[in-house]
Structure 1
Amino acid sequence: MGWVVGTGTVVGLLVIALGVVALRTGWVLPVSRRHVTRPRLYGAGVLVLGASLLLPGLSALHLLPGVPEEARFLGGTGLLLAGMVLLLVSQLSPLHRDRRSAL
């Protein structure tokens, strides 16, 4: 069980690092470059997903004392869903186009 929590924590930290890079520089992984139209929103979504992956590791290390198990579960699920919604919105095409870009 320990390796599962450790792997999730490492993946969560890696995803958070990718989110920080996307927020600061606008860089997106080459696999999703074609689909992402809003890199900053993509970075925020990746950060929230990384936090949802990191939450079970923090709970296993007892770094969240006094938080009931149900609250941790619902919080992690809420973060996961919020991150997925942000990722989906970041892939939508812009509704308002600038008229100068069409010239």
Structure 2
Amino acid sequence: MKLYFAVPLILLALLIAASGVAAVTSGWVLPMNRRHVRAPRIYGWGQLVVAFALCWQLVLGLILARPSGTLIGAAILLAGLIVMMIGQLAGGDRKGDGAL
């Protein structure tokens, strides 16, 4: 496994997962995304799916070297991005700036 590739991918997945947990539990979204996200909880679930897909690709693609695992991870990643897009389009208009 390429350690120089795995460590940044793990850190990226952890950051996305932390942002997703914050969006699901409290409705908090990063300041740069607040204007665009109308349904923060749906958007947060999409972030959690994207983080899971990155970890899936890391484990099955890099460690076990399975091409089918990478393909399945790409499909999960696409599903997470679609859920994030739904979080931007669905729901009512948010009032305020989204801060607690």
TM-score by length of 2: 0.79
Aligned length: 90
Contact 1:55 1:76 in 2 (8 A): yes
Structure 1 gap ranges (5+) = 63-67, 96-103
Contact 1:49 1:80 in 2 (8 A): yes
TM-score by length of 1: 0.77
Map of 1:15-26 to 2, 5 A cutoff?
A: 15-26=16-27
1:86 and 2:87 are equivalent in the alignment: no
Instruction: For 1:89, give the aligned amino acid.
Output: I
Identity of counterpart residues, as a percentage?
Answer: 34
Structure 2 gap ranges (5+) = 93-100
Map of 1:15-94 to 2, 5 A cutoff?
A: 15-59=16-60, 60-61=62-63, 69-94=66-91
- Higher Rg of the two aligned structures: 1
The structural deviation recorded for 1:75 is 1.6
Aligned to 1:9: 10
Aligned to 1:99: none
Contact 1:9 1:54 in 2 (8 A): yes
* More deviation, 70-79/17-26: 70-79
The structural deviation recorded for 1:93 is 4.8
Say which structure is richer in helix.
2
The structural deviation recorded for 1:58 is 2.5
Contact 1:23 1:43 in 2 (8 A): yes
Instruction: For 1:13, give the aligned amino acid.
Output: L
